Amino acid sequence: MKQDTAAKTMIIASCVYFGLALTMGILTALKFVVPTVGEIEYLSMPRVRMLHTNINLFGWLLQANMGILFWILPRILHTKLFSEKLGVAMGIVYNLAVLGGFAAIILGNVKNVEYGEIPPPFDYMIAICWVMFAVNVFGTVAIRKVKYLYVSVWYTLGAVIWTTFVYITGNMFSQMPMVAGVNQANLVWFYVHNAVGLIFTPLGVAIAYYLIPKQLDTPIYSHKLSMVGFWVISFVYVWTGAHHMIHGPQPHWLQTVSIIFSFSLIIPVMAVITNFFGTFATAPRGKRMLGPIPKLLMMGTVYYIFTCLQGPFQAIRSVNEITSKTDWVVGHAHMALFGAFSYYAMAGIYYVVPKLAGRRLYSEKMGNTHFWMMTLASIPFFAVLWIGGVIQGFAWLNPENTFVDTLAALKHAHWMRFTTGSIIFISYFLFLYNILQTLFGKYPEDAEPEAETVTAQ
Amino acid sequence: MKIDVEKSLLWTSVAAFGLFAIGAVLTTIVPPLVSPLMYKTDHDVHEYTEQEKRGIAIYKAEGCVYCHTQQVRNLASDRRRYGWRLVQAPSSESWEYVNDKEHFLGTKRTGPDLARVGGKYSSEWHWAHFKDPRNMGEKFPDRKGIYEKVSIMPKFDYLSDEEIKDLTAYIQTLGRNKNWRVDKDGNELNDYEK
């Protein structure tokens, strides 16, 4: 089978899902301001929200990350992908599972796991795909032609190992009949938090660790920092699940443990970020911000700092009292998954797709426009969610406010979220058009082709 | 023997798994062993009837949990807001949930918390509210426009009357493992439920 077929399939599919996920996001935001829009069973707000999160996580982000890594891993390890056929088979089964899952959600057949609503048998199919992905990753590392494993490879290996256990425990074991009540809640939050922390963080960071030095033509700033980042995150991330239930019915000691480890997360995150910024700072000036890729990587890193500083502080009991259960949390989740890791994934797609097509990107200029539109819209998008969340949190403190009063206070924030979200949605089409043109379109190629094959390295 | 972790697939994988496993075991398997109230209790906890179980399935399928939490947090503001007729709602405790095969603690409050909602409103009120949450008459007397100061909850008018009854039966059980709606002398404050 032709090299990189698996990467190509998954990247194209993920770009399409991205648009679908954004559509669902817009629809949810619209329902907050005009609740009578689309008032039918299959488009009721909770179902649209479940579709929004699941399409984003499984359809877009995870699939894009796996596709990009299918391309990156062989290049780092100077070999071919372990099995291209297995990769393509996985891509097909995965997309069937994901589509089946989405159909089930629309019909109201869901599992009671936030971020993992896709019901059986489709969730088991996703687990099988994950095993196929793991075989391919381990196989590719095993047949490598270089001695040392690069940071990106550690993170990918870590993600594959950790996620296997997180998914089994949180998404499958938690649904067994003997698991109930707060115990089940604990397992589910173990899944919810680590789905972000031990799937999307390591995969996103792995991609950034490859792209930043490669794109800027500069060695990584510090090898020691990359080791600190990886080994500390593999120890501390998993402890934090219970911080979703601070002040709640969870045992007090478990909450305290999760708060302490939420704070320890500052260590690996700062190590990674120092490393990324250090690489940017030592890169040749002319290359630092040339084209959409370094811009997306830079902005993704900035969002990564913000989201990872926000996390520990909102886990403090007194801060949590105000921010928890409000729109603030929504803003935090968006900045991690959209701001940081979707930006890395988009950078990865901008990098990989021209190489897959064997020619330069259709339009750098359009890429820049996409970046600026998306970034300038996403900053107020996150900001209104936090401001709205704080307003809501303080409004709840006053028993004179009825619940509807506290909701009415958010009206402007919700309109703003819908407006800025729409701009993000529009800028997505620039991204999609650029990618599809690069792959399938006809345009004059004045630059020399950038095809990069294994032997060329 | 010198182990060079960075050269070895095996050692990188084993070390990454080992470090992860410490935290994973201590936060998933150990908590119920240390704090058994997470899964069992000597208190009298309500066993759900068949009808209420059907209600739970509807609650899950309709995704109520994405806007309504089911936990009165251990905070004065929560206890006051979700109380009833000047009686403060007691904070939720882990033993109250031991019979919940599906937990609905939730992470986001777009609507009010439902942990102690059982018995606060009559079942007729719930029926009307599910049919059209924005047409609750006297409830919001100072509304200006149609989207001003009214609920933004979606209509659940596509549920059959039977389904709404099941769902209401479940909602009426919420928070009643603690008998908290009593006055100073311990007299029941229910008026329409007897």
Q: What is the DSSP string of A22-76?
A: HHHHHHHHHHHHSTTTT-SGGG-HHHHHHHHHHIIIIIIIIHHHHHHHHHHHHHH
Are B30 and B49 within one domain? no
| Dihedral over Cα of A342, A345, A349, A351: its sign | positive
B9 plus B61 within the same structural domain:
no
Closest residue of B to A137, CA-based? Answer: B9
Contact B134 A34 (CB under 8 A): no
d(CA A107, CA A165): 29
- Chain B residue closest to A245 (CA)? B107
**Chain A residue nearest residue B69, CA to CA:** A325
B142 within some domain: yes
Nearest CA in chain B to A323: B108
Phi-psi region for residue B85, left (φ > 0), alpha (ψ -120 to 50) or beta? Answer: left
Residues of A in contact with B152 (CB under 8 A): 31-32, 35, 407
Query: Nearest CA to CA, how far is A28 from chain B (Å)?
Result: 11
The reply to whether residue A249 touches residue B71, judged by beta carbons under 8 angstroms, is yes
Round to whole Å and give the CA distance between A82 and A366.
35
Distance CA A70, CA A48 (A): 31
Please check whether residue A223 is in contact with residue B49, taking contact to mean a CB–CB distance below 8 angstroms: no
More confidently predicted of A449 and A165: A165
For residue A407, the distance in angstroms to the closest alpha carbon of chain B comes to: 8
The radius of gyration of chain B's CA atoms, rounded to the nearest angstrom, is: 22
Among residues A363, A353, A352, the alpha carbon closest in space to that of A445 is found at A363
Q: Is A235 in Cβ contact with B62 (below 8 Å)?
A: no
Average pLDDT, chain B: 86
DSSP string, A376-415: HHHHHHHHHHHHHHHHHHHHHH-TTS-HHHHHHTTHHHHH
- For residue A280, give every residue at least 6 positions away whose Cβ sits within 8 Å of its Cβ, in sequence order, or none: A212, A216, A288, A294, A298
Same domain, B108 and B157: yes
CB atoms within 10 A of CB B190: 12
Picking from A35, A148, A186, the nearest residue to B152 by CB comes out as A35
Question: Is the CB of B148 less than 8 angstroms away from the CB of A408?
Answer: yes
What percent of chain B is modeled with pLDDT above 70?
89
User: Does residue B193 form part of some domain?
Assistant: no
Q: Is A339 on the interface with B (CB under 8 A)?
A: no
Based on the structure, what is the number of domains in chain B? 2
Kindly determine whether residue B20 and residue A198, on different chains, have CB atoms separated by under 8 Å: yes
Residues of chain A found within 8 Å of residue B3, distances taken between Cβ atoms: none
* A73-119 tens-digit pLDDT: 999 999 999 999 999 999 999 999 999 999 999 999 999 999 999 99
- Considering only CB atoms, A248 lies closest to which of B73, B101, B158, namely B73
- B55 and B29 part of one domain: no
Cis previous bond, A121, omega within 30: yes
pLDDT, tens only, A300-351: 999 999 999 999 999 999 999 999 999 999 999 999 999 999 999 999 999 9
Number of Cβ within a 10 Å radius of residue B188: 12
CA distances from B89 to A317, A327, B99, B117 (A): 21, 24, 21, 10
| C-alpha–C-alpha distance, residues A93 and A86, integer Å | 10
pLDDT band at B143; cut points 50, 70, 90: very low
Burial of B18 (0-12, 13-18, 19+ CB in 10 A): exposed
Q: Is residue B149 part of a domain?
A: yes
Interface test with chain A among B22, B86, B109, by most A beta carbons within 10 Å: B109
A444 touches chain B (CB under 8 A): no
Tell me which of A77, A183, A392 to substitute to probe the interface with B (most B C-beta atoms closer than 10 Å). A183
Cα torsion A3, A95, A49, B93: sign: negative
Q: What is the pLDDT of residues B83-104, one digit of tens each?
A: 887 788 999 999 999 999 889 9
Q: Which residue has the tokens 């510090």?
A: A222
Burial A430-451 (b: 16+ CB within 10 A, else e): bbeebbebbbeeeeeeeeeeee
Pairwise CB contact (< 8 Å): A248 & B63 = no
What is the reported pLDDT for A366?
95
Please tell me the distance from the alpha carbon of residue B188 to that of residue A294, in angstroms, as a whole number: 67
In a shared domain, residues B92 and B10 = no
Are B3 and B66 in a shared domain? no
Question: What is the per-residue pLDDT across B29-49, written as a single tens digit (0 to 9) for each?
Answer: 999 999 888 888 888 899 999
* CB within 8 Å: B7 and A325: no
> pLDDT averaged over chain A?
92
- The pLDDT, as a whole number, for residue A307 is 92
Question: Residue A455 — pLDDT band, cuts 50, 70, 90?
Answer: very low
Chain B partners within 8 Å of A162 (Cβ): 16-17, 20
User: Would you say residue A3 has pLDDT above 90?
Assistant: no
Q: Are A156 and A74 in contact (CB under 8 A)?
A: no
User: Is B104 part of a structural domain of the chain?
Assistant: yes
Same-domain status, B116 and B22: no
Residue B3 sits in the same domain as residue B76: no
Rounded mean pLDDT of A1-22?
93
C-alpha span between A394 and A136 (Å, rounded): 50
**Interface contact A248, partner B, CB < 8 A:** yes
Look at residue B58 and tell me if it is in a domain.
Answer: yes
Cβ count within 10 A of residue A364: 15
CA distance B46 to B69: 19
What is the interface pTM, i.e. ipTM, of the complex? 0.90
* Residue B145's CATH number: 1.10.760.10
Q: What is the pLDDT of residues A260-299, one digit of tens each?
A: 999 999 999 999 999 999 999 999 888 888 889 999 999 9
Q: What is the pLDDT of residue A450?
A: 52
Same domain, B52 and B27: no
Task: Nearest by CB to B63, from A50, A248, A253: name it.
Answer: A50
Checking if the pLDDT of B181 tops 90, the result is no
The reply to whether residue B38 touches residue A142, judged by beta carbons under 8 angstroms, is no
Q: What are phi and psi of B79, to 5 degrees?
A: -65, -40
Please answer yes or no on whether B63 and A110 come within 8 Å at the CB atom. yes
Task: State whether B62 and B3 are in the same domain.
Answer: no
Mean pLDDT on A186-215: 93
Q: In terms of domains, do B122 and B155 share one?
A: yes
A contact residues 30-69, partner B, Cβ 8 Å cutoff = 31-35, 39-41, 44-47, 49-50
Are B27 and B101 within one domain? no
Q: Where are the alpha helices (DSSP H) in A315-363?
A: 317-323, 327-334, 343-357
Candidate from A379-383, B50-54, B147-151 with smallest mean pLDDT:
B147-151
CB-CB neighbors (< 8 A) of A404 in chain B? 140, 149-151
pLDDT confidence of residue B179:
83
Q: How far apart are CA A60 and CA A22, in angstroms?
A: 10
**Structural domain contains residue B178:** no
pLDDT digits over A352-369, tens only? Answer: 999 999 889 999 999 999
Give the HSE-up count for residue B126: Cα atoms under 13 Å, Cβ half-sphere: 20
Q: Verify whether the Cβ–Cβ distance B7 to A157 is below 8 Å.
A: no
Residue numbers in A near B34 (CB within 8 A): 251, 253
Dihedral over alpha carbons A333, A335, A336, A337 (to 10 degrees) = 80
Which residues, listed in sequence order, are joined to residue B188 by a DSSP beta bridge? B182
Name which of A183, A170, A134 is nearest B37 in CA terms.
A183
For A20-51, b/e burial (b = at least 16 CB within 10 A) is bbbbbbbbbbbbbbebeeeeebebbbbbbbbb
Is B128 inside a domain boundary? yes
Instruction: Check A112 against B69: CB less than 8 A apart.
Output: no
At A50-75, the pLDDT tens digits run 999 999 999 999 999 999 999 999 99
Q: Which of B152, B156, B158 sits opposite A407 (nearest CB)?
A: B152
Q: Residues A122, A130: contact at Cβ < 8 Å?
A: no
Q: Is the dihedral of CA B95, B97, B100, B106 positive or negative?
A: negative
| Domain with B9 in it | 1-34
Taking CB atoms and an 8 Å cutoff, what residues of chain B touch A241? Answer: 27
Kindly state whether residue B146 falls inside one of the protein's structural domains: yes
> pLDDT class for A442, splitting at 50, 70, 90?
confident
Q: Is A224 on the interface with B (CB under 8 A)?
A: no
- Interface test mutation site (partner B, options A33, A112, A167, A328, max chain B beta carbons within 10 A): A112
Contact A251 B134 (CB under 8 A): no
